[in-house]
Amino acid sequence: MKRTFCTSTAQMRLVIWTFITLGVMASGLYQFQQGAHIQRDILAMLPKAQENPLQKIAINRIEAKLAGQLFIGVVAQKEVTAIDASKLFLKKLTHFSEQAQHPFFNIESVPEDFSVQLGQLYFSHRFHLLSHEQQKLLTQHDVQSLIDHAQQALYSSFGVASSQQLEQDPLLLFTDFLNSLARQQSLNHKQGILFAKDANKTIGIIQAKGKGSVFNPDAQQKQLKVINRALEAVKAQYPNVDFLKAGALFHAAYATENAKFEISIIGFGSLIMIIIMILYVFRSVMPISMALLTMASAFLFAVVLTISIFGELHLITLVFGSSLVGISIDYTFHYYCERMVNPNVSLQTTVKKITPTVSLALLTSIIAYLTIAFTPFIGMQQVAVFCAGGLIGAFVTLVLAYPALAKFSPKRRYDFRLSQWYLKKLERIVIRLLITRGSAVSVLIITVCMSIWGVYLLTPNNDIRNLQQAPNWITEPEQQLRQVLSGGTDNQFILVSANNEQELLARLHQINIPLLEAVEQGELSSFMNLASYVPSTEQQKQNYQLLSQLYGNSLPNILQQMGLPLELAPALQQQFVEKKTQYLTLDALSKIPHSFFNELLITPSSYHNEFATIILLGGIKELDKLSQRISSIPNAQLVDQVNDISNIMAHFSKLTLWLVVLSLVIASAIFMLHFGMKKGLLVVAVPILAILLTLATLGFIQSGFTLFHALALLLVFGFGVDYSLFFAKNHHSPSVMTAVTLSAISTMLAFGLLSLSDTPAIHYFGFTIAVGIAITFLLAPFVSLFTRKYNDKKTQSKLAY
């Protein structure tokens, strides 16, 4: 009768579990149909720095400029070969991109008609523009030298001035001004190809903008396929040509392939090893079936809960969450180890016996996971919800499905020989420590001192640049190409603001001086300042005043010496007078179509009332010195978003440590209410010591301490509580020792594989947990031994009484 009732109850629980699982599955399918998706953009996990409206606009402009932008350098010994090969690559890349539904746009070397439009703008303001050499000669009233230079240029074999140009500019001053600008630039262009000289080689430069996020694997594959086809076509015709590649695409593609590889290795690798371990211990297929069912339920609940809250599932969540394989299976181990102790009781009785301990362990684990949800990283928030949801799914499966499905009846009572041998060895150690109190105190003092020393050696390292390390075959060509580009290749930039455009232009010329000094001192390779293209208003006034020497009474004499008709004088003088107050402005420069100038100038809007401009930087070597150089310039700030995010990470690293402390306090309160003060503190002492010793280990190996180390400590706390709880609650320590051993091995397999990741953040996370679990595994059995000795003393006291 009783067996029939248990069977009926077990079947009812299975039906409930089936409906719950189907409901969760249906909810997940519905949410994916409504737009829930896998988020592949790695940048989405990063915290956002607080910026003022002007700085936010500037950052968005830079991100828009650099996002999806890539550069290809075509390297050849001869200039003509580099230019011809670059033209072919430009043609092929455009052609293949059209065939592949345009994964690229803005494929170009020099923006179309940019030079012509810039020249036209300058020519309309030619009466306010002079080179330094021209200014020097006119200041000395040496007009004759200008005439001689113009005659030499006109009658030389390279003279290309047209009659119309001479009529507008008799001394060819404008031509010399353009040539002086070209000499200031490290890049040249010919036949529509931008190129630079580097050592004995010429590098043609092609740039393109990719469609979609470079962190989208589908977009990556399309873009890389088009690029590789174009490179192969050029290489077939110019076999001696080499290529340099730079852009976020190549970093993102490597990171994506690496992440896919690690997901497969971590998830499936740990799964296979766990299956082998279960077969070896239990000698049955049924535990494997239940383990797979538990893990499947855990992943189902985890995915659905995550997309229900966030509307998407981050790729990094799957990387971290693949370790859920090693966590959710813990319930299977405890269940089957309990079955081996009492094989003759019903399945429901076995579940009922371990449920109180599993429930308490689940509660503390969820506390640890949900504490991570207070961090600013969307990715880590998802990891917390994902793992918490997974454990809930595993717990629901244990309570509702196991009584009907988890059939396992070993032919004999398992003697746990190895676990008993290990516990006896530990018991001897405990007895010796308790007999000789001096030894116990000595061990405690040594442990504490070593922990303090290790923690003292620990140094914080939250530089976000350390979280993504690309291989040399990506970074070295990119660095070489960056060196030949004339600025704008670094994420850092200078933002200069003012109340009006004239004040802004003056400030840009003021900051130009320390920037040139920084280049001379090797602190900076290059920079792009709009002041290099627009003289200050005061300078334009001075230039106009200097040119009045030419367009006054001496103009007829100049025309005569140049062999030009004297009738041109009145018209030239009239133009000169009309242009007196028509100064070249930043606004006029920014309105050149298809130029980068319009990206650099920020004009007043409904969000702010200031004028500002962005100064692009290239090849920054001494960021702190550069910041000091510009510190005296009013309203000039060095914007370093990478450093801002790193500071945020450092802040939340400290906050996470406080969350660990808070979790320990909450757990201590729960355990003291449940077990009493002494036993409760004994249970929580395991995770506390595990965390301290893990920190000390990181300090001794000089690993540095990041936010991801801190987040891992929360999980070390959760595991430590689980292990110590089972030892404190269960009187049959050998079976618990076997279950905890299996659990520790599976968890270390999962997180140990994480520590092998090439991605630093994942490596830090996995390595810290692996070390913490190993220490926890060594400490947890002492809870059972000390508890037993404590209970024995209480029993003896009662008997004596």
> pLDDT (tens digit, 9 = 90+) per residue, 101-132?
888 888 888 765 777 888 889 999 999 999 88
Spans of the chain, pLDDT less than 70: 1-7, 40-51, 111-112, 156-163, 182-186, 263, 267, 316, 319-327, 368, 375-376, 408-416, 430-440, 467-469, 486-490, 594, 730-733, 786-801
pLDDT at 801: 42
Domains, the chain, with CATH or none? 417-457+641-732+756-801 (1.20.1640)
CA angle, corner 718, sides to 712 and 724, nearest 5? 130
The confidence score (pLDDT) of residue 23 equals 94
Helices (H), 283-346: 286-310, 315-321, 324-328, 330-341
CA distance 18 to 401: 8
Report the distance separating Cα 331 and Cα 328, nearest Å. 7
In angstroms, the CA 280 to CA 738 distance is 13
State whether the Cα torsion 328-332-338-340 is positive or negative: negative
Contact present, 402 and 339 (Cβ < 8 Å): no
- Parallel, antiparallel, or unpaired: how do β-strands 188-190 and 601-602 relate? unpaired
User: Within a 10 A sphere around the Cβ of 331, how many other Cβ atoms?
Assistant: 27
Cα Rg, the chain, nearest whole Å: 36
CA distances from 17 to 5, 30, 406, 516, 717 (A): 18, 20, 14, 72, 30
Q: What are the residues whose beta carbons fall under 8 Å from the beta carbon of 745, sequence distance 6 or more? A: 277
Task: Tell me 47's DSSP state.
Answer: P
- Helix segments in 132-284, DSSP class H: 132-139, 143-155, 163-168, 173-184, 217-237, 248-282
pLDDT of residue 795: 43
Report the pLDDT value the prediction gives residue 799, as an integer from 0 to 100.
Answer: 40
Three-state secondary-structure class, residue 705? strand
Judged on CB neighbours under 10 Å (0-12, 13-18, 19+), 68 is: buried
Quote the CA–CA distance of 534 and 82 in Å, as a whole number.
Answer: 32
Tokens 């690309």 — which residue?
470
User: Global pTM?
Assistant: 0.73
Contact 413, 340 (CB under 8 A): yes
576 vs 570: CA distance, rounded Å: 10
Question: Closest Cα partner for 336 from 274, 403, 406?
Answer: 406
Whole-angstrom distance, CA of residue 703 vs CA of residue 458? 8
Give the tokens for residue 545.
Answer: 């005043």
- In which element (H, E) is residue 37 found? strand 37-39
Helix (H, G, I), strand (E, B) or coil at 732: coil
Q: Which two tokens stand for residue 41?
A: 């953009």
C-beta of residue 388 within 8 angstroms of C-beta of residue 370: yes
Nearest in space to 315 (alpha carbons), one of 669, 759, 11, 656: 759
Tell me the C-alpha to C-alpha distance, in Å, between residue 56 and each of 210, 418, 614, 641, 643.
Answer: 23, 63, 12, 10, 15
pLDDT computed for residue 316 by the predictor = 67
Structure tokens at 718: 């959760």
Token look-up 């988020």 returns 39
Structure confidence at residue 409 (pLDDT): 63
> Measured in whole angstroms, how far is the alpha carbon of residue 170 from the centre of its chain?
57
Q: Which residues contact 374 (CB under 8 A, 6 or more apart)?
A: 655, 659
What six digits make up the tokens of 723? Answer: 């292990």
Residues in the chain: 801
Q: Is the dihedral of CA 219, 220, 223, 226 positive or negative?
A: negative
Could you give the CA distance from residue 397 to residue 406 in angstroms, rounded to a whole number?
Answer: 10
Q: Are strands 188-190 and 104-108 parallel, antiparallel or unpaired?
A: unpaired
The string of DSSP codes covering 420-457 is: HHHHHHHHHHHHHHHHSHHHHHHHHHHHHHHHHHHHHH
